[in-house]
Amino acid sequence: MSQTYKLTVFEPSGEKLLDEAFTAEHDKQAKEIGERLLKEKNYSGFTHRCTSSAGKLVLFHI
């Protein structure tokens, strides 16, 4: 069963650069999708987080 995950990227000032939802079958797949999206959009070096609909943090970088 798919879950909804949310990937959020922030500027150092706290401004949101990206706030994107996607679905994945499990946390590991969500982490892989989140990392791929960050790379595609050139946001890998920014502060980011990916959370599940249950509030679980699956990806985080300061």
Give 16-57 pLDDT, tens digit per residue: 999 999 999 999 999 999 999 999 999 999 999 999 999 999
What's the whole-number mean pLDDT along residues 3-26?
A: 97
pLDDT of residue 62: 92
Total residue count of the chain as it appears in this document: 62
* Three-class SS state of 37: helix
How many Å apart are CA 58 and CA 5, to the nearest integer? 9
Global confidence as pTM: 0.92
pLDDT of residue 7: 98
How many Å apart are CA 54 and CA 42, to the nearest integer? 27
Q: 38: burial class by Cβ within 10 Å (0-12, 13-18, 19+)?
A: buried
Q: Which helix (H) or strand (E) holds 49?
A: strand 47-52
Is the per-residue pLDDT at 1 higher than 90?
no
pLDDT of residue 42: 97
